Amino acid sequence: MTVTGSPYRDRMRRVLDHIEGHADGDCSVETLAGIAAFSPFHFHRQFGATTGLPVARYVHLVRMKRAAYRLAYRTDRITEIAFDAGYDAPDAFARAFRRCLGRSPSAFRKAPDREPWHAAFAPLDQARNQSMPPPFTVHDVTIQDRPAIPVAIMTHRGDLTTLPATIQRFIAWRKARGLKPKDHATFTIFHTDPRTTPPAEHRLDLCVATDRRIEPDDEGVVAGLIPGGRCAVLRVIGQSDDLEPAALFLYRDWLPDSGEELRDFPLHAQRVTFFPDVAEKDAVTDLFLPLR
């Protein structure tokens, strides 16, 4: 059974938005059924038909994903993360986290591994994509003339399974220098295509906007420049860890009929708001395709 009518999708979208925005609050079946305007009995069936997951499983994965991001990229205490994930005791949270990710919270924080991490949350992402595909249209793309932006760059090379460790180093480096995201924009430059590039040859740059003098250091951070010029811009809301659908839309759907030509600089993104600082549905990423 598949739900295709837009009224039902709209009702389920409100439910998914509530779960993501209140992962540490009330996500009871009664509350979610009320948001969807179904009886609890019919809500169970409708939710499963729309997402392919039971309600409790979906809520659990949303909470675990937020916990994983906080463990990897924030310095929140594990006890605090456990309470926010709905557990009264850190031990209970640790057991649940190990079942989900295969490692204890403390071990995961020290060395997050992208492959099991993404595998654990693949059912959650599939459920969202199955029921709520990204609504990109040509009207979502704008053309902007962008100024040149001086940046500090930390490059990740090699298999993307080790990318979380590079992100951890990048966050620590900029934090030590007071380059806060609210004052210094965050960018990612994509030099290679994960679909066609051998894992060992992947390259992307993690960047923070700054006009400070950057001296090369032990972390490999160097000064760089995102050149100014015309760009096609697509705003992506939610799921900022998977920009492939948006990138494919720009290259495959928008560009051929646009009459535009590409400039010799890679696709890049500005991270406007970050998950887990905001609910995943509220994460905002602007994707830039440089044009002549």
63-86 pLDDT, tens digit per residue, is 999 999 999 999 999 999 999 998
pLDDT at 134: 59
pLDDT at 131: 62
Q: Where in the chain is the domain with CATH 3.20.80.10?
A: 138-290
| Under 8 Å between Cβ of 53 and 85 | no
pLDDT at 218: 77
For 6-131, CATH gives 1.10.10.60
Q: Where in the chain is the domain with CATH 1.10.10.60?
A: 6-131
pTM of this structure:
0.86
194-238 pLDDT, tens digit per residue, is 888 898 999 999 999 999 999 877 789 999 999 999 999 999 998
Separation CA 46–CA 54 (nearest Å): 10
User: Mean pLDDT over all residues of the chain?
Assistant: 90
Q: How far is CA 49 from CA 64, 254, 274, in A?
A: 23, 32, 30
Annotation: CATH topology of 138-290: Multidrug-efflux Transporter 1 Regulator Bmrr; Chain A (3.20.80)
